[in-house]
Amino acid sequence: MTTQRTVTDRDHRPATAGAARDQVRRLLGGAASPLPAAVVNDVLLVTSELVTNALRHGGGLTAFGAVLGDGTITLSVSDRTSTPPRTDTAGTVTTPGGFGWPLVRRLSRTVAVRTTPTGKTIEAVVSLSPLGQAPGA
Amino acid sequence: MSDEPEVTTTLVEDVRVVRVSGEFDPDEAATLTEALAVPSGGAALGLVVDLAHVAFADSSFLHALIDARLRHRDARVPLVLAAPGPLVVRLLELTDTARVFTITPTVEAAVEAVRGARADGRSLR
């Protein structure tokens, strides 16, 4: 059985990455059982990177959603540019830059990018199990 | 609610100790970069970044640390990260950047590491 709870709708989008994290924190606080701090932090990190990317490089955040599923949280972040995130500029120790998107990829079970002529939506599914596996999987 | 980000700079035994606390977002990156500037004119022996009270950090925070590390290396001034909590350690490990920093468990050890590096005339990583 899947319990779905949506933290925010398209009319209540956060203005900053910090506000988005607060919303996700509240949603996770209502999870069936308390989550380990490390799991919560990973989800907040993905939230932050996605929202920051939309605000900084995506022409602004047009929608933000977070839904609790069965052992997962699905984050969806929409912005105003159709350009997918760049994957060819991962940061290195000598040339900082581009750490955000690799972090999102690394911490998410799946990441889907849907583009339209007016923008894009990135949907990341993050496991809420410390082992990266859904309970019972 | 988010913890307000705060940067406090003190001089400990001629070593500049910058304590960063709270939640850091890209909006604070400029403040952080400024606080982590290379001490000019021998104003300090080196820099210690006290990470014990960081409540949240993302890639913009990491960029500021790496940028500071590169500038200190170029200036041959030691920089040491002190007391990173689990979330900073995870950020460094996920991005494979922990290995480029000198990291100590306490601020005291970090101050000693900076002073030791200066006394030896060697430059830390």
Instruction: Give B49-84 pLDDT, tens digit per residue.
Output: 999 999 999 999 999 999 999 999 999 999 999 999
Q: Chain B interface residues facing chain A, Cβ-Cβ under 8 Å? A: 1-2, 23, 25-27, 56, 58-60, 62-63, 66-67, 70, 86-87, 90-91, 94-97, 99-100
Any idea which fold B6-120 has?
Transcription Regulator spoIIAA (3.30.750)
Which chain B residues are Cβ-neighbours of A106 within 8 angstroms? 94
Is residue B124 within 8 Å of B113, Cβ to Cβ?
A: yes
Per-residue pLDDT of chain A (137 residues; tens, 9 = 90+): 445 555 555 556 899 999 999 999 999 998 777 899 999 999 999 999 999 999 988 999 999 999 999 899 999 999 999 988 766 555 555 444 578 889 999 999 999 999 988 999 999 999 998 765 434 33
* Token duo for residue A20: 């988005």
Domain that holds residue A68: 5-127
C-beta atoms of B2 and A22 within 8 A: yes
**A21 → closest Cβ in B56, B62, B67:** B56
Q: What ipTM describes this predicted complex?
A: 0.88
For A89-117, the pLDDT digits (tens) are 555 554 445 788 899 999 999 999 999 88
Cα–Cα distance, A80 to B17 (Å, whole number): 41
**Type of residue at B98:** A
In a domain, A133, yes or no: no
Tell me the whole-structure pTM to 2 decimals: 0.87
Chain A residues in contact with B29 (beta carbon < 8 A): none
Write the DSSP symbol of residue B48.
E
Our count of domains for chain A comes to 1
Domain-located, residue A134: no
Is A136 contained in some domain? no
Nearest to B119 by CA among B45, B39, B41: B45
Q: Which CATH number belongs to the domain containing residue A79 in this structure? A: 3.30.565.10
